[in-house]
Chain A
Amino acid sequence: MIATITKPEAPSDDKRWKIVQATMRRNGYSRNALIETLHTVQNSFGYLDEPALRYVAASLRVPLSNVYGVATFYHLFTLKPQGEHTCVLCTGTACYIKGTPELLQHVEERYGIRDGETTEDGKVSLLTARCIGACSMAPAVVFDGEMEGEVTQEQLDEQVEAWMAS
């Protein structure tokens, strides 16, 4: 008997699924490529939603529970959509010693968002990271992927307010 394995269909005809498929193909649809694949989904779509998890599980023939387990184990993966812009505050040791707690408090008081939350208008998400390797310039913040060192409250406000006004 010849078993034919049909590949599951992508959740939508969004072109970005092609990128995800390419990652899986490059890794021979091996289940070892689960984390690689989830990285690609998140890079392409910004977060991992349920249809995406189901699709990856079916494609790599991994139980959905395992996929969910992996997606929730690693801090970098998020199951919720992020705001238009992200602001990642470093809470590593050097940054902690040099003022991140004050920055976090400031953001919370002024914009009403805490770690993992997004402003009501959906513009800005606040995230934290445990050291981004810029310790010599503590406190460090990553604004939409761009790293900034020795960030002051004023600088932070300037960037966040520019985003919120956009």
Chain B
Amino acid sequence: MTPEELIQIAEERRGQQAAVGKRINVCAAASCMSRHSDKIAEEMSSHAESLGDKAEGVEVRCVGCMGLCSAGPLVEVDHPADEAAGNDAPKTMYRGVSMDDADRIVEAAAGGTTVEQLVQPTDIPYFSRQKRIVTENSGYIDPESIEDYIAADGYSGLVTALTEMSPNDVLHEVTISGLRGRGGGGFPTGLKWSTVAKTDADKKYVVCNADEGDPGAFMDRAVLESDPHRIIEGMTIAGYAVGASKAYIYVRAEYPLAIARLKKAIRQAQKYELLGTNLCDTPFNFEIELRLGAGAFVCGEETALIASIEGRRGVPRPRPPFPASYGLYGKPTLINNVETLATIPWIVRNGGDALASIGTAKSKGTKVFALAGKIVNNGLIEVPMGISLREIVYDIGDGIPDGGTFKAVQTGGPSGGCVPGNLLDMPVDYESLQEAGTIMGSGGMIIMDEASNMVDVARFFMEFCKDESCGKCTPCRVGTAQMLDLLEKLCAKSATEKDLELLKELCDVVKACSLCGLGQTAPNPVLSTLRYFEDEYMGSLVGGVSGDGRPVPDVETKAGAPDRIER
């Protein structure tokens, strides 16, 4: 692939697109697909065909996630020909589209009208407050078409890097962009890349961490399903910058659609010689292989992930040595999260400065969050760093449904914590969240209302950590089980003050003594709920009442809760 060839493919595809009068874009990411959006798209196609001349110039295609998953299946009608000609061409988004609506949407599009009852307004804060970099193509391109991706400037970053930049130039751009790892740790990406680049070795690896273990997070899944080529491009640029020629994507087996699309994307990229040997007529070779997880949260931890790729039990090992110097098969290995890698093509195309101009002093760029739980607009959002939690919950998320009151937002999953209502004006960046006792995490945000009992929330996460502890180190294996016992006692209102003291002590011990991040952060949900909702803990003691006399919400379903089930 030469730069000229890439431009030619892009122009050809743009030309084809500009010839389409009316285009019906149907979301075909997992959420909408589980509501049969793929069948709806098929019905639309065949109906358009059956209309013959009357539906001239109507094209139906599948695109990636449009974000507002709770309103799915989503469909958007646009007019590429008018847009290309510079005419006013408003788009129409439809929500909650069912099979019965398929035909009339096609007819409306063909006739230039709209189906009013189904219209989803797009001038709401949910759409206007977002800043889309990682998800810039999501919902706009067909994820299974490499030409669509190329037409949206895809692979131009890679081709530019290979033909016009040295590996050091790429490292420089990534470093000045201020990008930090989106997998949870927030480690400066430029620094990590430079470390791998500097290490001498006959072989190096790049690994994309697509294990997305945080229960309640689906950002990586959406990116993989909606724009898989972006990951391939990001990884290949990374390989060029650090001097690696082989890469693995470690993806959860729970994401079959993402896996299928990645496989297809890899084949397409190989065909276009964007993967393989002597890319862009340079000596640079690069190949990518998929590796499937098998349902173990701890495999998201980088050393456990390496063990798993090597076909072993996913058990972490002490660091140092860090994977950057001693990783996969003992070779220097760059491990980055999906979203981190998905930001790279944009950085190369627009320059590191452009990313650095977004966000706060220490947290640059944008972050994708998955909003779920008790919130009106469930779905995927991408916002500039530094935005306040209040804006996310009340403007973008549109508040709490069914007249409920906000109680807390949980970030960072089992390694994170809960932020209460009085801190909602806090900016969302790595440092502020940490100060508030939680972490940025990978981007799951679960919103809870008054119905949630915070001791039970802590119990839920502790149970998760106990189940997922790999068992290698004692503080984590035994500590999580002990803490879970105490939390269950609290939930059953049979704990004493002494139990609470013991719980606090155990938090410190497990945090300080565990081998890997799983154990070191397992106490966080307890610590943060203790910090902000101590009255609920007090109210859960034998004969206890909460500080302000407010009743503590009951833990509703004990018998059926997963922990009651003996394996």
Contacts and interface: CB of A to CB of B under 8 A. Distances in A.
A136 B296 contact: no
A133 B221 contact: yes
Contacts of A130: 213, 215, 295, 297, 464, 467-468
B218 A136 contact: yes
Contacts of A33: 311
Given A74-B314, A98-B373, A135 B216 contact: yes
Given A35-B311, A74-B296, A76-B253, A92 B216 contact: yes
Contacts of B310: 32
B212 interface: yes
Contacts, number: 168
Contact of B34 (A96, A108, A137): A137
A101 B561 contact: yes
B336 interface: no
Interface stretch (B187-195, B483-491, B552-560): B552-560
A94 B448 CA distance: 9
Contact of A134 (B218, B566, B567): B218
Contacts of A35: 291-292, 294, 308, 311
A33 B374 CA distance: 42
A137 B314 CA distance: 30
B448 A108 contact: no
B69 interface: yes
Interface in B347-371: 370-371
Interface string B185-206: 0000000000000000000000
Given A73-B314, A75-B294, A97-B373, A104 B34 contact: no
Interface in A39-97: 39, 66, 69-70, 73-77, 91-94, 96-97
A93 B218 contact: no
B69 A136 contact: yes
Given A93-B444, A94-B446, A36 B291 contact: yes
Interface in B265-324: 291-297, 308-315
B378 A137 contact: yes
B559 to A, nearest CB: 5
A40 to B, nearest CB: 10
Given A69-B313, A70-B313, A97-B448, A131 B31 contact: no
Nearest to A97: B373
B156 interface: no
Given A76-B253, A101-B560, A149-B31, A135 B378 contact: yes
Interface in A130-147: 130-138, 140, 145-147
Given A35-B294, A39-B292, A101-B562, A135 B311 contact: no
Of B410, B448, B557, B567, the most chain A CB neighbours within 10 A belong to B557
B35 interface: yes
Given A104-B562, A116-B567, A149 B34 contact: yes
Contact of A131 (B217, B292, B379, B467): B217
Contact of A39 (B218, B294, B312): B294
B440 to A, nearest CB: 16
Given A93-B410, A131-B215, A138-B372, A115 B444 contact: no
B473 to A, nearest CB: 15
A66 B310 CA distance: 13
Q: Which of A31, A32, A35 has the most CB of B within 10 A?
A: A35
Contacts of A149: 31, 34-35
Contacts of B379: 136
Interface in B371-400: 371-374, 378-380
Q: Chain B: interface residue count, which band?
A: 35 or more
A63 B142 CA distance: 46
Nearest to B225: A133
Contact of A133 (B35, B255, B559): B255
A34 interface: yes
Interface residues of A, number: 53
Contacts of B315: 73
A123 interface: no
Nearest to A70: B313
Given A97-B373, A104-B560, A76 B295 contact: yes
A151 to B, nearest CB: 10
Nearest to B464: A130
A105 interface: yes
A77 to B, nearest CB: 6
B266 to A, nearest CB: 15
B247 to A, nearest CB: 15
Contacts of B216: 92-94, 131, 135
A129 interface: yes
B114 interface: no
Contact of A93 (B309, B373, B559): B373
Contacts of A140: 34
A130 B470 CA distance: 16
Contact of B559 (A105, A135, A148): A105
A156 B491 CA distance: 28
A94 B372 contact: yes
Given A32-B310, A32-B311, A101-B556, A134 B562 contact: no
Contacts of B496: none
Contacts of B519: none
Given A66-B312, A132-B254, 10 more contacts: A35-B311, A70-B313, A74-B314, A75-B295, A93-B460, A104-B560, A104-B565, A106-B560, A130-B464, A136-B371
16 contacts: A73-B314, A76-B253, A93-B410, A94-B216, A97-B446, A98-B373, A108-B560, A109-B560, A115-B565, A116-B565, A130-B213, A130-B467, A135-B378, A135-B444, A145-B256, A147-B30
Interface of A: 30-36, 38-39, 66, 69-70, 73-77, 91-94, 96-98, 100-106, 108-109, 114-116, 128-138, 140, 145-149
Which 6 residue pairs spanning A and B have beta carbons closest together?
A105-B560, A92-B215, A93-B216, A74-B294, A136-B69, A131-B215
Interface of B: 30-31, 33-35, 69-70, 72, 212-218, 221, 253-256, 291-297, 308-315, 370-374, 378-380, 410, 413, 444, 446, 448, 452, 460-461, 464, 467-468, 470, 556-557, 559-562, 565-567
